[in-house]
Amino acid sequence: MNFAIEVPGAANPLNRVELCRALQSASSSQDHHQRQAADQQLSSWQSQTDYYPTLQTVFLDNTLPREIRLLAIIQLKNGLDASWRAHTVKHAIQPGQKQLIRSNLFRGSIEERDSQLALYNALVTARIVRVDFPGEWPDALDKLVAEIKTLRDDDQRLAGALLMLLHIVKELGTARLLKTQKALQTVTPELVQALGEIYDAKTGLWLAFITSGQGDENNSMAAMGNSLTVFKILRRLLIVGYEFPHRAEVVRQIWAFSQSQFGQLLNMANDKYPAIGKHLLQFTKLHTEMASSHPASFAALPGSPELARAYWDLVAKFSVVFDQSEGIRHGSSSGDSKPRADGPLLERLALKGLLLMRSCIKMTQRPVQTIRYRSKEDAQENQDALAAIKAQLFSDEFINQMARTIITHLLVFRKVDMEAWEEEPEEWEQREESQGNAYEWEVRPCAEKLFLDILTHYKDLLLQPLLVYFATAQDPQASITTKEAVYTTIGLAAPLVEDRFDFDALLKSVITTDAVQVAPMCQILRRRIAILLSQWVPVKISNETRPLIYQIFKHFLNSQDPHNDIVVRITAARQFKAVVDEFGFDEASFMPQAPDVLGELLHLVQRVEVDETKLAIMGTLRSLISRMDVSITQFGDLVMDALPNIWSSAGGLDFMMKQSVLAILQSLVVAMKTDSQRYHPLMLPLITEATQPGSDTSLYLLDEALELWVHILEHSQPPLSPGLLNLAGMGIQQLADQTIHTESCITIVGSYIALAPQTLLEGHYRRPLLQALSTSLDTKRRDQMNLAIRYVDNTLRLSHQLGGGHGFQLLMRDVVDTGFLKQLLEGVHDAYEAHQTSGPKRKQSRLDPLTLAGYFTILSRISVLDPATFVAMIGALGPIESVWVWLSAEWFSCFDSMAGPDRLKLNLLGITRLLELPQPVAGLVLGKLQDYLSMWTSVICQIWDDDSPGKDGLYSTEKPPPTEWDTHKDIVERELYVTDPVRTVISYAFVSERLQGLAQVVGEPTFQEYLTNVDKDVLAGFRDLENRTSASHHA
């Protein structure tokens, strides 16, 4: 049957024939354009009402080619995710079409013989039931259970029905809506009853065949497959379908039955019938999930202590052959994205036993606290059940037996491990490193976790036997694998035995000798010693033995030693990071080993191929450079010779490696400080590459590149190199763009202002600089706005300091021309207009009070530097008399919302300097005399020294002492700090002089006339300042 499609997408009407043609072209056409046209056609039909019901009709037609039916059900499944629940979304599936689709769902799996197609239909059904049950489809499960009951003798069709129910229970079991959870719990008893009967019948059938040969093999195998699916459903229902599983009699019956049948099937398991092993694994999942999800119920269910001991017997039995086991392998199962575990059945069962024991220890030692209400009776019942299983299970003898089994059998290095090491050394090392987080999937990591659990809660019981076991490491006749297991145990126990075990003595007498062994398989011991040292150094180590540890790691990293294969060197490189990061890392003791260690690390990172390993070694390098601090300077050339090669070898898309390179460069700059300037020619091109707007490199590396840039500027001293100066324009542009990296960009720009003010105040940069800084003034992020104000302030002061009046005038012209001043004054005027309104419909100012205060801080600085220029600038907006009305009103009002004494005093100085100007400004400020007097009184009182009232607390003639950590930027900013009029001017004396000058400008009679109109209390408060200031001087 051929449904070739030849017309462009969206040109055909929707009908069954055209849909089949489009599906065939989309699924099997060799022509790319034809497939693309078919995909477009299918997409265009999604908006049509009958599209999804027609897809289902095509899927249900088993006369059509399989690829058409498969794509039809996939299209239906994908459409449900977008359109089934979305009632308000355009083109959502309508109620009539939903009902039509629901009516045919069961047929799609029950009548389907293709397992993959039946699975897809089951997934579709489960998604719909999750959304519509119990609201729009309340009888969904009732109908399906009825179907299952009628099909119990038809294994082929029963398999399809059970498959649907399995995925429905999976979906409902993960639902978070309380309504859905309650609905599932309501139907669970009926489901469990029906499924239990089917399971009993099916297992009886295939057990009779296997044990006595009764019946037909094909029917028995079909029954075995269905019984397995039934128990998968039962397992989930027992966990998610009951709030208190142990209270349901049917659960107690199934629980007891699972234990008895577990023993029966364990003796029958073989390779001929792998489904028997799958049944056993389902039992283990029920037991472990009950212990972790419902610990109190697990404890209260019949036979649970005996069950736990039986599992441990399995573990103990397996431990004897663990060293010969091939391990559990994980891969993707065909037709399913879920990982599949393969390996010996006994090992997989033993792993479940270890997990179960971990859950038992957790429930008895650290009971889970719930926020759900529990009655006193429920709480007491839980406590009694947990206390009972603790007493019955965890005897001293049993605890000792578990610990002994783990440390003597389950922590040994296996033959299969050595084979994997030799076959794929780098991949094996990476797997071993990541297995620590995979304890649910591997026996050894799980055994390590269980050992720690036992030792944590039964330390007093286990400590003495453990110390005796540790002593076997001193036995000269002990094999390498035995010592490896002992060292593993010592490393795991480090945080718990550090106060009772003398690790330093073991290190000096035994470990040092073992580290230089050259016997066969000595690399196993070297790898373990590197791990052991990384576990003990952060816990407890003496200063005396630190140099010895550094020598051992240097020895393990030596690539010239044939016994240090790639695994040993990678492990040493990875584990050395913990040694370096330890608080007590001794830089002086490490220096003799530094050249060799750094050289080997840099060589190794270029030698290995696994990306995760490269990143780990780079992490060690970065930590080492940071901890060596200025001592790294003598090895700077060694590091910088390697990093460009590492960057280039990473290629265009290995951004994580390039991030690591940038991070190491950052650490190098911080450690070397100004000595790092000689490497700018190598670093700056990397920053340029990583900050190109719109590039993939910028997308992934911009954070690290900006951080490096920040530190390069922080540790540079003038004159800056031409290459570094050339980047200033890019930094200004990045700031103007206002991205998520604005805070780093504004720090970069602020550093350029401090370190190269002459360059940034040149005509080429002045205007872009002002425009970029202005974009950060209205931000909602307070720290960013404060930085912008700080750097605008520095720019204003440096322009006046370096260029005098002329330089300041040039800058002020650009402040006007770029709209910077307009932005400030329009914000002030908008606030003034808003403050003139009231009531529920009052106008809201676009500036919050703190932003407005920041605006006035900038205006105040301009006025402090040159009040005449300030007045000339604001006069450009209109008559000075009209501008002064709203500007002065907001300025005086804003003092109440200013944070910090420095800003208060700067604003006081700025608005007070206007008293120095002639008419008409003198008359304008005289009209605000009461506001001035009130403000002066308030601000001066706030900035007085708390210990010496009457003295200006901000006035100082002392310079802060320099420190060894000062950068050149710090020095520039400290000089600006100490020369600021806020520090060099005494506020009351400053105000008094300007007030006397104003009286001279306007004439004493006029001044006195205005003074008589000032509120008496305001005037008295100001005059009191003089008395308190005089008293302070006399004191």
Q: Say what percent of the chain tops pLDDT 90.
A: 69
Q: Find the mean pLDDT for residues 410-430.
A: 91
Instruction: Please give the pLDDT value at position 318.
Output: 93
pLDDT for res 92? 79
Q: Mean per-residue pLDDT for 924-953?
A: 88
In this predicted model, what pLDDT tens digit does every residue of 708-763 receive, in sequence order?
Answer: 999 999 999 999 999 999 999 999 999 998 888 899 999 999 999 999 999 999 88
Beta carbons within 8 Å of 691's beta carbon, 6+ residues apart:
698, 702, 705, 706, 709, 730, 734
Q: How would residue 525 be classed by pLDDT, with cut points 50, 70 and 90? A: very high
Amino acid at 851: T
Classified as helix, coil or strand, 531 is helix
- pLDDT tens for each residue of 864-891: 999 999 999 998 888 999 999 999 999 9
Mean pLDDT of the chain: 90
Residue 1033 pLDDT class (50, 70, 90 cuts): low
Looking at residues 419-424, what average pLDDT do you find? 92
Instruction: Give residue 373's pLDDT.
Output: 57
pLDDT cut 70: percent of the chain above it: 95
For residue 719, say if its preceding peptide bond is cis, omega within 30 degrees of 0: yes
With a cut of 90, say whether residue 842 has pLDDT above it.
Answer: no
Asked if the model's pLDDT at residue 796 lies above 50, the reply is yes
Write down the pLDDT at residue 86.
Answer: 64
Q: How confident is the model at residue 212 (pLDDT cuts 50, 70, 90)?
A: confident
Supply the pLDDT for residue 272: 84
Please spell the DSSP secondary structure of 36-88, one letter per residue.
HHHHHHHHHHTTSTTHHHHHHHHHH-TTS-HHHHHHHHHHHHHHHHHHTS-TT
Task: Write the CA distances from 503 to 542, 544, 1018, integer angstroms.
Answer: 9, 12, 76
pLDDT in tens, 972-1015: 999 999 999 999 999 999 999 999 999 999 999 999 999 999 99
5 falls in which pLDDT band (50, 70, 90)?
very low
Res 141: pLDDT: 93
Across the range 261-284, mean pLDDT stands at 90
Place of tokens 């070898």: 649
At residue 33, the pLDDT reads 83
Contact of 742 with 776, CB cutoff 8 Å: yes
- Asked whether residue 159 carries a pLDDT value surpassing 90, the answer given is yes
- φ, ψ of residue 366 to 5 degrees: the values are -135, 70
Rg (CA), the chain: 40
The pLDDT tens digits for 427-445 are 999 988 876 667 788 899 9
pLDDT in tens, 548-606: 999 999 999 999 999 999 999 999 999 999 999 999 999 999 999 999 999 999 999 99
pLDDT in tens, 666-675: 999 999 999 9
Quote the pTM value.
0.84
Q: Binning pLDDT at 50, 70 and 90, where does residue 28 land?
A: confident
Question: Cα separation of 910 and 891, whole Å?
Answer: 10
* pLDDT on residue 970: 92
1 pLDDT band (50/70/90 cuts)? Answer: very low
Band (661; pLDDT cuts 50, 70, 90): very high
CA distances in angstroms from 865 to 354, 799, 826, 902, listed in the order given: 76, 10, 22, 16
Distance CA 880, CA 691 (A): 46
Residue 339, SS3 per DSSP: strand
Q: What pLDDT was estimated at residue 32?
A: 81
Better-predicted residue by pLDDT, 750 or 338: 750
- The string of DSSP codes covering 832-880 is HHHHT--STTPPPPSS-HHHHHHHHHHHHHHHHH-HHHHHHHHHTTS-H
Half-sphere exposure of 726 (CA within 13 A, CB side): 9
Reported for 916-919, long-range contacts at CB under 8 A and 24+ positions apart, including other chains, are: 916/867, 916/994, 916/997, 917/867, 917/868, 917/871, 918/1001, 919/1001, 919/1002
The answer to whether the CB of 230 falls within 8 A of the CB of 279 is no
Would you state the structure tokens that stand for residue 455, as one six-digit string?
A: 């030792």
Q: Which of 592, 596, 662, 675 is nearest to 629 (CA)?
A: 675
Lowest mean pLDDT among 95-104, 219-228, 265-274, 988-997: 265-274
898, two tokens: 């200013």
DSSP string of 902-944?
A: HHHHHHHHHHHGGGGS-TTHHHHHHHTHHHHHHHHHHHHHHHB
> What is the pLDDT, as a whole number, of residue 88?
55
Q: What is the pLDDT of residue 381?
A: 78
For the stretch 889-925, pLDDT in tens is: 999 999 988 888 999 999 999 999 999 999 999 999 9
pLDDT band at 384 (very low <50, low <70, confident <90, very high): confident
Average pLDDT over residues 820-827: 94
Q: Is the model's pLDDT at 47 over the cut of 50?
A: yes
